[in-house]
A and B are shown apart, each in its own frame.
Chain A
Amino acid sequence: MINRRKFLTVLGAASPVVAALMAFPGTVLAWAENAFKATSVEDAEAALFPGSQAQPSGQVKLKAPQIAENGAVVPITVSTDLPDVSNISVLVEKNPNPLCASFKIDPALQPEISVRIRMGETSNVIALVEAGGKTYQASQEVKVTIGGCGG
């Protein structure tokens, strides 16, 4: 298996993009594999926003049910009135891979996303927002039950 750094050197690693690749081997160009494969919220956050520590913020709004009707389809909405939003990400703390989805937000978009997620068990759902180069978060516990009768 070819060594990535060596391969890039062979290409002539003069370009800034490639230099960045060499400096941060985990740098995401397309799908954030490291973040999605992470098995803890901390590792997923670190992969998404290296060096950043998400601060809880009342300006990040997470709309999620108290008790999920069914863990396979939990409708949630993340919105914020923070300025300069560049990313909204959703994590489920107790899922085997907590990161559900990560949205790159262009300035043309209102900083609000609705999505339907899967939850394996009762867990905190965490909304991360990257705004003005800093990260903020809000979280809410969503209960997931197996009905026992109809469920």
Chain B
Amino acid sequence: MKVKSRSKNGIAKVKLLAKHPMHTGRAKDADGNLIPAHHIQTLTCEHKGKVVLTADFGTSVSKDPYLAFTIKGAESGDVLKLSWVDNLGESETVEATVG
């Protein structure tokens, strides 16, 4: 997961790109077999110990999900914790410092 974040006047714009195939469960592979659904279910962003965003995804979010949002009261140097969990129980957590 790549995270870009910049704060101006206490307002931090956050953009992220998570690496995930987001298989819908409807597509077939080269042999004609259905590729099982494999997608991020929930992605969260924590700032100052509080979950400020909980994003629930279905299979209609694009491959390598992109998200952009804005946190009020976030300064340069603040640490954000981004985490996701997918439907197969895989997960990733990344810490990013607000620029």
Most chain B CB within 10 A, of A32, A95, A116, is at: A116
Nearest to A89 among chain B residues (CB) is B56
Question: Within residues 94 to 113 of chain A, which ones have a CB less than 8 A from any CB in chain B?
Answer: 95-106, 108-110, 112-113
Other-chain contact of B58, A73, A77, A97 (Cβ < 8 Å) = A97
Q: Does A72 contact B (CB under 8 A)?
A: yes
Q: Which residues of B contact A118 (CB under 8 A)?
A: 24, 59-62
Q: Cβ of A114 < 8 Å from any Cβ of B?
A: yes
Chain B at the A interface: SS class:
strand
B58 touches A101 (CB 8 A): yes
Q: In the docked arrangement, what's the CA distance between A75 and B67, Å?
A: 10
Interface of A is mostly: strand
A31 and B53: CB pair below 8 A? no
Within 8 A of B (CB), among A135-151: none
Q: How far is the CA of A119 from the CA of B63 in the complex (A)?
A: 12
Could you tell me if A115 and B65 are in contact, using CB atoms closer than 8 angstroms? yes
* Contacts beyond the supplied A104-B55, A117-B62: 10 A-B pairs with Cβ under 8 Å: A32-B56, A72-B62, A99-B60, A101-B57, A106-B53, A108-B71, A109-B70, A110-B72, A114-B69, A115-B65
